C-alpha cells in the first residue's frame, strides 16, 4: 500500500507496466494487511492512466487471491501456477467480472498430483468460469490451461466466443474431458 501511495504521487513519471509476484511463502511471512486497497489503486491509475498490471501467483490460496484482487487494478495479464493448492472457479469468475476491460492473458497451471483427476472449475454448474471469462473479457488473446478439467463443449464455446482475436488457446490433451453422451456420438 505504501509503495502504491508513493508511485501515485504526481512527482513521479507515470507507470505503464507493473509486474507483481505473489507467492504462498511470502504470504506466510507477511500479512496481506499491507496490500494496496482499492483507493490506492484508484490513486495510482489517476496518475498513470495507461498503467497495466501483470500478476504471477504461485500456490496462492483462493481466499488470499480474493483479498488481493481489487476492482481498480488495471489487470492485463494473470498467471496462476500451483503445486499445492488449486484456483477456484470463484476466483476465475471474479477476474472475468472485474477485469473485462483490460485482461488479455490468462494462464492457469496446476501441477498438483491427484489420482482422482484434474480439478473442474465449473463445479458441476451450468456456467463454466472459463467460458464466462472468454465471453466477458473481449480483449482476451491468450488462454492457457494445464492441469484443470476443460470440457470439450466448453473449449469449443471459448473458441467461438473469442474467434480470431484469441491468438493462443493452449490446453493439454489430458485436461480435455468429454461428456459420456458426446463420446457415444463421436
Distance, CA of 142 to CA of 119 (rounded, Å): 21
Let me know if residue 99 belongs to a domain: yes
The answer to whether the beta carbons of residues 33 and 94 sit under 8 Å apart is no
Mean pLDDT of 30-42: 86
In the chain, the percentage of residues whose pLDDT exceeds 90 is 54
pLDDT digits (tens, 9 = 90+) for 132-163: 999 999 999 999 999 898 999 999 999 999 99
Backbone angles phi, psi at 84, to 5 degrees: -120, -45
Cell of 121: 472449475
Domain CATH code at residue 143:
3.80.10.10
Query: Strand runs (DSSP E) across 65-120, as ranges?
Result: 75-82, 105-110
Q: Which domain holds residue 154?
A: 15-177
Let me know if residue 1 belongs to a domain: no
Residue 14: pLDDT band (50, 70, 90) is: confident
Residue 41: CB atoms within 10 A of its CB come to 21
On whether residue 54 sits in a domain, the answer given is: yes
- Alpha-carbon distances, residue 100 vs 38, 62, 128, 162 (angstroms): 17, 19, 16, 13
Please compute the mean of the pLDDT values over residues 97-124 and round it to a whole number: 84
Amino acid at each position: 500500500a505504501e509503495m502504491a501511495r508513493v508511485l501515485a504521487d504526481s512527482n513521479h513519471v507515470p507507470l505503464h507496466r507493473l509486474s507483481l509476484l505473489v507467492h504462498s511463502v511470502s504470504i506466510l511471512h507477511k500479512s496481506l494487511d499491507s496490500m494496496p486497497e482499492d483507493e490506492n489503486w484508484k490513486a495510482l491509475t489517476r496518475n498513470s492512466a495507461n498503467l497495466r498490471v501483470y500478476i504471477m501467483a504461485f500456490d496462492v490460496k483462493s481466499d488470499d487471491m480474493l483479498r488481493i484482487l481489487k476492482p481498480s487494478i488495471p489487470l492485463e495479464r494473470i498467471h496462476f501456477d500451483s503445486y499445492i493448492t488449486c484456483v477456484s472457479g470463484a476466483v476465475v469468475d471474479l477476474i472475468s467480472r472485474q477485469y473485462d476491460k483490460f485482461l488479455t492473458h490468462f494462464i492457469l497451471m496446476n501441477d498438483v498430483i491427484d489420482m482422482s483427476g484434474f480439478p473442474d472449475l465449473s463445479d458441476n454448474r451450468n456456467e463454466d468460469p472459463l467460458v464466462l471469462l472468454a465471453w466477458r473479457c473481449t480483449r482476451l488473446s491468450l488462454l492457457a490451461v494445464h492441469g484443470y478439467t476443460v470440457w470439450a463443449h466448453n473449449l469449443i464455446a471459448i473458441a467461438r466466443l473469442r474467434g480470431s482475436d484469441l491468438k493462443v488457446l493452449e490446453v493439454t490433451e489430458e485436461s480435455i474431458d468429454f461428456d459420456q453422451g458426446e463420446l457415444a456420438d463421436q
